[in-house]
Structure 1
Amino acid sequence: MLTLTPRQGPAPRVFGPAPHGQGSQISPIMLQEELWGRMRALPYVYMAPTLVSVPHARSLFIPEGIGTGPAEAFQRGREWAHIHPHHDGSLHLTLPKEAEEDVIAAGWGVHHPVQAVVLVYGPRTAEELETVWEIIQFSYRYAVGAK
């Protein structure tokens, strides 16, 4: 499972359920772009318009036939994660239930009120970027069926 350092400070304001996102403590754009660059460089992923999020969200998919992740590892179709536009900076991704509980308990995100995904808060610092990146990699491994 995930072993996460607790997120420092109060939780950001979250809005939703539709759209569902982060309304305060917005991640600096430079950190959002660093995170997006890492996400899109993961093996086999491809970018396409989101099937579930707001316009201008940047989404990642895994092609059919790649990996052995369960259907629950995907939001819709083969979309497994998306990052919201710069004015928000949070992201939605799928995790096994136990890992999702770890993320929430450590203060890094919240359950989506309607969908089976977790909202992960955008990183505020370079240190937080590394923690969010760890969560994303765990989600990716879940989607491709890697342990």
Structure 2
Amino acid sequence: MTFPALPHREGERPRTGPEVPHLQLNQTSPAAVRAELLRWMDAALPGTTWGRSKVSAPSSRALFLDGTPPAPGALLMPPRGDEEFAHVHADGSLHLALDPADHAAFLSSGWGEKHPLYDRGINVVMLYAPRDQAELCVAQQVIAASYTYATGRVPTSDTAAA
């Protein structure tokens, strides 16, 4: 999988908490943008189901593989590493599993950062909350890369965001 080329993220990086739970503290998603993101994820990522995250704040909504094993070699979120691949926080930011080969490109893009447990071998990065429609399109590209890593499949055509 080749990670998509992402446009420059405007403005300063948001402030985030230094520990678990790792949350974004400013520059959060407007309610309408977050709602649109959740609708898109529901429509464009078949073979997944929503549930309460097994690792995040209770207000987060997590996407799990719907009873199918992950793609060969994919390491998803703890505790099991084989079912939860993304979750959306109430602030609109996300944690997701990406192909380790894509980490450098993602982290250098300015659209996110390492999870506080990343350097302990946890395959989780934070995608900053989309603040508008243009940023929602970028978020969809990153989430699509996470989905493809987790499932080995490309999201539905509803992902034509960029």
Maintained 8 Å contact 1:13/1:22: yes
Deviation at 1:127, TM superposition (A): 0.5
Find the aligned partners of 2:78 and 2:9 in 1 and give their Cα distance.
25
Q: Which sections of structure 2, spanning at least 5 residues, go unmatched?
A: 155-162
Indicate whether 1:142 and 2:142 are aligned: no
Note the alpha carbon deviations across 1:57-96, whole angstroms, 9 max, x for none.
Answer: 00010023355243413444401100001xx220000001
The verdict on how the C-alpha distance between 1:116 and 1:68 changes in structure 2, with shifts beyond 3 A counting, is: closer
Note the alpha carbon deviations across 1:95-137, whole angstroms, 9 max, x for none.
Answer: 0123222121110000101132000001111001000100001
The verdict on how the C-alpha distance between 1:61 and 1:47 changes in structure 2, with shifts beyond 3 A counting, is: same
Q: Choose the corresponding residue for 1:18, options 13, 17, 20.
A: 20
What pairs up with 1:1-147 in 2 under 5 angstroms? 1=2, 2-41=4-43, 42-65=45-68, 68-77=71-80, 78-85=83-90, 88-114=91-117, 115-146=122-153
Match for 2:131: what amino acid?
R
Maintained 8 Å contact 1:75/1:117: no
The verdict on how the C-alpha distance between 1:118 and 1:37 changes in structure 2, with shifts beyond 3 A counting, is: same
Q: Which sections of structure 1, spanning at least 5 residues, go unmatched?
A: none
Match for 1:119: what amino acid?
M
Find the aligned partners of 2:100 and 2:70 in 1 and give their Cα distance.
20
Give aligned pairs, total: 145
The percentage of counterpart residues that share the same residue type is 37
Find the aligned partners of 2:145 and 2:48 in 1 and give their Cα distance.
14
Give 4+ residue runs of structure 1 displaced > 6 Å after superposition: none
Note the alpha carbon deviations across 1:12-58, whole angstroms, 9 max, x for none.
Answer: 00103211011011111110111111112211110111100001100
